[in-house]
Amino acid sequence: MQRALLAAAVAALFLTTPLPSTGQANAPYKIGITLPMTGQFAVNGNTFLVPIQAAVDEINAAGGVKGHPLQLVLEDTQASPQAGVEAMRKVVQVDGAQVVLTFYTNVVMAQIPLADQLKIPTISPVETSGVMDKTQYSFAYASRSLLVMDLAARYWKAHKMKRVFAVFANNAQGLVNSPIIRKIVEASGGTYGEALIDVNDTDFRGSAIRAKQFNPDAIFMNAQGAPAEATIIRQMRELGLATPMFEGANFYKFKTWHDGVGQYTEGMYFVGLDIDQQTPAGRNFARMYRAKLGIEPDYQEAEVYDIIKLFAYAIGESSYNGEAIRNVLLNLKGFPSALGGTVSMGADHYAILSHVGLWQAKNGRLVPVAAP
């Protein structure tokens, strides 16, 4: 609740603050933010505003970029491809942003052709593999889903978990990832079943019953942390399905997700990134976040914080111009990350991140699980 209230207040400020004149000598460098502020993913979208604003505040307090303050311009995507394209046109063609931070696979896939057309670089914490492979101006700052699914599959194989049931959102993210995990499971001699769920629904007992009838050895959850995902996890457990459950992203510290799943987080496995608080960067980010909200940050909040810092770095290394910024991103090496360690950009436009891992929730905390 604390997080949601603060995020809503920040969003309201962005939407009501007048834009300074671009004719000023130190006119702000605008960063477009297209994210869901309404709809099923709004609770996640609004949460991201806190670390985004924190990064902007730190940069501006240090003098901005080349004497120019950063300014955020926000538009609501409703997690819809059509609204996402309209939102991107607004922040670029009306507000004049030369970079865009955006969210969710189905939206990003719709925005990619427009980014190439407008020559405006976008960065998103999209984990879906294969989305960025043929783009010119779009980049992903996240661990790729293929790596995450492969890590989970190695665990299943080592522990003779042959029957795998997966749950995906019935959108672009799910439709891209479904055949990938099916191939991984069947290639190792396993049997695969799945449910594609509408994240706007609230009753998933039909899918939960199908999962139970499949008699799985493992359940793989990946519905992008939507409230619907928490609901189907609860409904599966309430039906008596006690199968080991693997979350395809590390949402354990994402407060709204964790609160939604409740007691059923215990024993779940989480595959993906975590903030390494043993490193100075990870420790400092977590300390800053706790000071603001009194709760632990999750890895996605560190990612979006990094993305703002990365935009500032790219502008500083070149100029406030989409093509120039893109060229810096293409050659990114060793950028310091709030996750801990450094980040480089791969030739396929996916960030190369370290310490993707497997954890299990035990007694209210995450415990590392040794990789097979």
pLDDT, residue 24, reads: 57
Q: Quick one: which H or E segment has residue 336?
A: strand 335-336
* Strands 70-76 and 29-35, sheet pairing: parallel
In terms of DSSP bridges, do strands 357-362 and 365-368 run parallel, antiparallel, or are they unpaired? Answer: antiparallel
Contacts of 12 (CB under 8 A, 6+ apart): none
Least confident of 12-21, 103-112, 206-215, 351-360: 12-21
Distance CA 372, CA 261 (A): 28
For residues 124-146, average pLDDT = 89
Instruction: Express each pLDDT in 293-317 by its tens digit.
Output: 888 898 899 999 999 999 999 999 9
In this structure, what token pair is assigned to residue 112? Answer: 């990619």
Contact partners, residue 298, CB within 8 Å, separation at least 6: 250, 251, 252, 253, 254, 255, 275
Q: Which domains does the chain have, with CATH numbers?
A: 2-143+279-352 (3.40.50.2300), 145-272 (3.40.50.2300)
Distances (CA, A) of 40 to 76, 79, 102, 201: 12, 8, 16, 9
Mean pLDDT of the chain: 89
Structural tokens at position 100: 């865009």
Q: Match 């297209």 to its residue by tokens.
A: 34
d(CA 99, CA 35) in angstroms, rounded, equals 14
- pLDDT tens digit sequence for 87-96: 999 999 999 9
Q: What is the pTM of this model?
A: 0.82
